[in-house]
Amino acid sequence: MFKEFAQGLWITFKHLSPKYRTTVEYPKQRLQPSERFRGLHRLVLQHDREKCVGCYLCPTVCPAKCITVETAENDKGEKYPKVYKIDLLRCIFCGYCVEACPVEAIEMTGNYELANYKREDFEFTKERLLK
């Protein structure tokens, strides 16, 4: 019985050694998320404008209804999103918007540091999403 007790404690002590430590000392240390991680969205740039053509599929598919798109015609007669807004407080990071996009104009990045102080700061406008 003592043997089993020692064996059990050994596992406990083993995990005290730095080799087995799983805690990450954030923010001194940051993990690299996987490539398929679904963090903050990004709008893709193409030449001088966003790649987005304003097809409205992302706001349509969004289960949380957090995407606002308003389209207009630019000088070249092309359709572009005059307004593109994501309300991050509502977003559930499901990634459907990325999946629905016919032109791969929206991606999800590895950025998971999304805490903020004010509600307004959670509204990601086109300009912020293009960065």
Residues that bind other proteins (CB under 8 A): 53-57, 60, 71-73, 77-79, 102-103
In the complex, the smallest distance separating the C-beta of residue 71 from other proteins, rounded to whole angstroms, is 5
Pick 37 or 71: Cβ nearer other proteins: 71
Can you list the positions of beta strands (E) in the chain?
41-43, 45-46, 49-50, 67-73, 79-87, 106-108, 123-124
Closest CA to 81 of 37, 35, 50: 50
Q: Choose between 91 and 101: whose C-beta lies nearer to other proteins.
A: 101
Min dist CB 56 to other proteins, Å, is 4
- 100 vs 114 by CB, closer to other proteins: 100
**Nearest distance, CB of residue 72 and other proteins, angstroms:** 6
Closest to other proteins by CB, 27 vs 102, is 102
- As to burial, measured by CB atoms within 10 angstroms (0-12 exposed, 13-18 middle, 19+ buried), residue 95 is middle
CB of 59 to other proteins, least distance (A): 8
The token pair at 101 is: 């996009």
CA torsion, ordered 97, 124, 126, 86, to nearest 10 deg: 30
